[in-house]
Amino acid sequence: MARPIPAGELAEIEDVVRAHPGGITLGEIAAALKERIPTRTLQHRLKFLTDSGRLVREGERRWTKYRLPPVIVTGELKAGEVQLEAEIELGIPLSKGGEDVQAYVRQPVARRKPAGYDRAFLDSYRPNVSAYLDETQRAHLLKVGTAETGEQPAGTYAKQILNRLLIDLSWNSSRLEGNTYSLLDTRRLIDFGEEAEGKERLEAQMILNHKDAIEFLVSAAEDIGFNRYTILNLHAMLANNLLADEGAAGRLRRIAVGIERSAFHPLEVPAMIEECFDQALATASAISDPFEQAFFAMVQLPYLQPFDDVNKRVSRLAANIPLIRGNLCPLAFTDVPRQAYTDAVLGVYELRRVDLFRDVFIWAYERSAARYAAVRQSLGEPDPFRLRHRAGLRELVAQVVEAGMNRKTAAAHIAAWVRENIEAADRERFRELAESELLSLHEGNFARYRIRPAAFEAWQRAWMEGARP
């Protein structure tokens, strides 16, 4: 008979975890314990604590962290209580079906029925006949998510709020994966390239991958869609430098995978994964309503698990494809509690029910729409000329800075570049804008041109020397 684990040793592990509300890795736990414990022994004790519900395990492989279970808040909250996600979760109105799904998936895994991938869940969906969102819900989302941009090219709205969207969506989507960067940490990383002290490099990589993927969707708004080009490249960007097999980035899954703390067993046959992947994309492409299309992607892509990892991240950004293309408010997952999102996904995995996921999706979109309506109002109306030439301005300014040009050299380069790349009617205005952008560059705004900090500092010295008499 196995020797019982001493209660005092388990309590010490819990105390260490309790001191890290954002989660703590196995290595960090081992370092914090008073006496050294062999790794295998510590793993066994952590498994015992998670299986018994005393700890929660989050993330996979290198991302695995442990924390105390979330506080379940019932009745009225007392003033001064720590509310955090539990309070937000109470604010999500759940349907009767959503409540049923939540009650089921919050049972211990051992009490839930094992479930495998069911092809019929995808086969039975008929674009523009079937619907996860009913007509009233779709009309409501369209009302709250419509931006008065007039007739504008695809991606216009997202470009207007791009700086905010990069930070919000990168942070929230990463946060849902267990990333411990704060919103301020994320802003400094994206704006200045500064990694937060005491954080793992993998967390910075995850956020920067989101930034690249979002910029890809917005800059290529007229070309993206539910096709292999978009989704495979989206995965490659989001998975960059995060997978054990780097060749798996942007490639469909060839291995079996498991889902932590779930009774769901994903499809394992590579040929079937590819077939279902193509079918899911074709089905999504045929859906005419942008919100139904977005939600379909959030449901079916994680359910299929087409990639080795990073599937949910792909689905969250893919959900924004029809919103970006349609100049609708993007979905940034603002304030979405991790537990609510996890429960919603588990409801799809194990029950093939979208009730809870739909409740979370609608609530999340309402929050995002309210945020970006306020953001856009504060930004005012964009200059259509600047908007039309945004890519050219970014390219030209980056060239000047990366090459460390002084004022005289920059003026000659700008003149030559404008003659070669800009129509005659727009050349003078474009040249003025380019020079104005260079004159207004400072340490707080150069990152939007994808300029490296070292290059900016070197250029700034050359630029200032060129201004001296």
In the block, tokens 């931006």 appear at: 147
- Total domains present in the chain: 3
Q: What average pLDDT does this structure show over 289-303?
A: 98
Residues 351 and 455 in one domain: no
Please give the pLDDT value at position 54: 79
The Cα–Cα gap between 248 and 346 comes to 25
**What pLDDT is stored for residue 85 in this prediction?**
53
Better pLDDT: 150 or 396:
396
Domain that holds residue 202: 111-379
| Helical residues (DSSP H) of 124-227, grouped into ranges | 135-145, 156-160, 162-175, 183-192, 201-219
Query: What is the average per-residue pLDDT within 409-435?
Result: 87
**351, 379, 407 - which closes a domain:** 379
Do 234 and 337 reside in the same domain of the chain? Answer: yes
Q: What tens digit of pLDDT does each residue of 104-114 get?
A: 999 999 899 99
Same domain, 168 and 243: yes
Does any domain span residue 86? no
Three-class SS state of 184: helix
Residue 444: per-residue pLDDT: 73
Q: What is the pLDDT of residue 15?
A: 81
Instruction: Check: CB of residue 451 under 8 Å from CB of residue 403.
Output: no
Q: Do 129 and 245 fall into the same domain?
A: yes
| Residue at a domain's end among 332, 352, 379 | 379
* 34 in any annotated domain: yes
Chain-wide mean pLDDT for the chain? 86
Both 404 and 314 in one domain: the answer is no
Run of H or E residues at 58: strand 56-58
Q: How many C-beta neighbours within 10 Å does residue 252 have? A: 19
Alpha carbon distance 311, 10 (integer Å): 34
Structure tokens of 392? 């050219």
Residue 60 above 80 pLDDT?
Answer: no
Collapsed DSSP state (helix, strand, coil) of residue 259: coil
Assess whether 126 and 268 both reside in one domain: yes
Q: Are residues 296 and 396 in the same domain?
A: no
Instruction: Kindly state whether residues 139 and 288 are assigned to the same domain.
Output: yes
Look up residue 259 and give its two tokens. 């889902």
Alpha-carbon torsion (280, 281, 283, 288), positive or negative: positive
**CATH classification of the domain holding 242:** 1.10.3290.10
Domain presence at residue 178: yes
| Residues 251 and 265 placed together within one structural domain of the fold | yes
Residue 85 lies inside a defined structural domain of this protein: no
User: Are 390 and 363 in a shared domain?
Assistant: no
Residues 6+ apart with CB under 8 A from 55: 13, 14, 17, 46, 49, 66, 67, 68, 69
CATH of residue 56's domain is 1.10.10.10
Q: Is residue 118 one of the residues assigned to a domain?
A: yes
In a domain, 2, yes or no: no
Q: What is the pTM of this model?
A: 0.66
pLDDT greater than 80 at residue 147: no
d(CA 252, CA 232): 8
278 and 360 part of one domain: yes
End-to-end CA distance of the chain: 87
CB atoms within 10 A of CB 18: 12
Domain-embedded: residue 135: yes
368 has a pLDDT exceeding 60: yes
* Phi, psi of 331, deg, nearest 5: -105, 110
What is the predicted pLDDT for the residue at 81? 31
Domain assignment present for 81: no
Q: Are residues 158 and 136 in the same domain?
A: yes
Among 346, 379, 412, the domain-final residue is: 379
